[in-house]
Structure 1
Amino acid sequence: MAAEYVPPVQKGFGQLVDSLFLLVLVYCSLLAPLLLKAPEKQVDATAAKTQVSWQELGQNPTMQAQWKKLGYDREQAAPIITSKFDYEIEPVSLIVTVLVIAGYFGFVLLVSDRQYRQVIAEKFSE
């Protein structure tokens, strides 16, 4: 007869360490893109005009008020408004991300399979 399965009990300190570790991982994953960002691109000559009106930038009075609340005048806001976002996907970063997620998923499946089989063996074998 197989020994009765007794699930492991995690102490409060272990839960605290696990929680802090996950918090640090989330923080690092959110901070990493800011630390590793590409250098700023040059603004084109049309965006660098000093005498540009809010209307030329396509901003209505409500938008103008919001820019002013943020502390931008029209010369400071012009490069931000006229520059387009760059949505390039870096293949290396994408592959690393996919490998990390797939590796973690495989690890979870492997550990869960072992625990599941142990519990099933305890419950149904006599």
Structure 2
Amino acid sequence: MAADYVPPVQKGFGQLVDSLFLLVLVYCSLLAPLLLKAPDKAAETQTASTQVSWRELGQNAAMEAQWRKLGYDAQQAKPIITTRFDYEIEPVSLIVTALVIVGYFVFVLRVSDRQYRQVIAEKFGE
């Protein structure tokens, strides 16, 4: 009669290294677009000498109250309100992100394949 199979157990240190590695990958993939983005010229050329009102920014009294709760006055909120989100897809960032994801997927498949073959060999004595 064959003995029951007992799979190898990953040590706590290995799990910690795996978790930290994945955490670093996620953090870098989220931080990279911010680091690679060119500075906004409109924000640099803005002067603080011009006073702006909440009405000029298209904000009503309720919106103004919420901005004030957040600690912003009209001048501080102007760049946030007037700057539109950039929804352009940058090809280089997209390709780098895709390569990192595909590379990690291939790595996981290769390691899993190797471990799967090892389990089959141990279980069936190939």
TM-score with structure 2 length normalisation? 0.69
Contiguous gaps of at least 5 residues in structure 2: none
Q: What amino acid is the match of 2:99?
A: L
For residue 57 of structure 1, report the CA deviation from its aligned partner. Answer: 1.9
Cα distance in 2 for partners of 1:13, 1:79 equals 47
What does residue 109 of structure 2 align with?
A: 109
Q: What percent of counterpart residues are identical?
A: 82
What does residue 32 of structure 2 align with?
A: 32
Report the CA distance shift for 1:20/1:99 in structure 2 as closer, same or farther (over 3 A): closer
Deviation readout 1:59-118 (Å, 9 max, x if unpaired): 121210121122222233223212211122221111111111112112222222333344
Q: What amino acid is the match of 1:12?
A: G
What does residue 60 of structure 2 align with?
A: 60
* Relative contact order higher in (CA < 8 Å, ≥ 6 apart): 1
Work out whether 1:75 is the aligned partner of 2:75. yes
Matched positions, count: 123
Partner-residue secondary structure (3-state), 2:10: coil
Q: What amino acid is the match of 1:102?
A: V
Q: Is the 8 A contact 2:57 2:82 kept in 1?
A: yes
TM-score with structure 1 length normalisation? 0.69
Report the CA distance shift for 1:34/1:102 in structure 2 as closer, same or farther (over 3 A): same
Partner-residue secondary structure (3-state), 1:95: helix
**RMSD after superposition:** 3.5
What does residue 8 of structure 1 align with?
A: 8
**Higher alpha-carbon deviation: 87-96 or 104-113:** 104-113
Cα distance in 2 for partners of 1:18, 1:69 equals 42
Contiguous gaps of at least 5 residues in structure 1: none
For residue 42 of structure 1, report the CA deviation from its aligned partner. Answer: 1.2
What does residue 19 of structure 1 align with?
A: 19
Partner-residue secondary structure (3-state), 1:77: helix
Cα distance in 1 for partners of 2:51, 2:20 equals 51
